[in-house]
Copies of this chain bind each other. A is one copy, B any other.
Amino acid sequence: MTSPLNPAQLRAYFALTEAANLLQFAVQQQLRADGDLSYVQFDILATLADATRPLTMTDLADGVVYSRSGLTHQAALLEKAALIVRRPSPADHRATVVDITDAGRARLAEVLPGHVDVVREMLYEPLSDQDVDTFDDITGRIRDHMRAKPPRSAVSRRPETDEG
């Protein structure tokens, strides 16, 4: 247990971290410049645009790994900007259904081309089609593994409280 990472693991971890940070930074700049959206706001709009059924606040919070209060805050901002609408769910009167508006879809359309450009230029320019397939396979397996493994479990290696 706690054996060190081998050199290739270490290198790849650092490269991944740095690349992901640089990409995220560039994407955030682009979304802000082209559509005055934070990444989370973009994610919410994109999720709503893709959804085949109406989504509730809880549905959205699950997708974004977000506290509900944080989502309420972001939804309030998006609603103030007229990009989404919230209405009480007819099925469950406790729930709130969130819809993307035409303005929301328009904003998404404004932002998407630049988003794709950034991803292609930064992430895919140095990769061949063969590389992309390999990268797709590996990242897919990593993501599936992370989804399956509850991230919290690996975290706290300290006893919660011994005293008291």
Which residue of chain B has its CB nearest to the CB of A32?
B155
Number of interface residues of A (CB under 8 A): 65
Q: In the complex where A9-B132, A116-B4, A122-B149 touch, is A143 in contact with B29 (Cβ < 8 A)?
A: no
B154-A30 in contact (CB<8A): yes
Asked if residues A158 and B12 are in contact (CB atoms below 8 Å), the reply is: no
Q: What is the total number of copies of this protein in its complex?
A: 2
Contact of A12 (CB < 8 Å), options: B17, B24, B126, B135: B135
Q: A20-B20, A127-B138, A143-B19 are in contact. Are A154 and B122 (CB under 8 A)?
A: yes
Task: Please give the distance in Å from A69's CB to the nearest CB on chain B.
Answer: 17
Contacts of A147 in B (CB 8 A): 22
Q: Is the CB of B119 within 8 A of A141?
A: no
Chain A interface main SS type: helix
| CB <8 Å contact, A8 and B136 | yes
Residues of chain B contacted by A142 (CB below 8 angstroms): 15, 19, 123, 126-127
Bound CA–CA A15/B30 (angstroms): 20
Nearest neighbor of A18 in chain B, beta-carbon distance: B143
Quick one: CB contact mask for A1-17 with B, threshold 8 Å, 1 for yes? 11011101101110111
Output the nearest chain B residue to A23 by Cβ-Cβ distance: B146
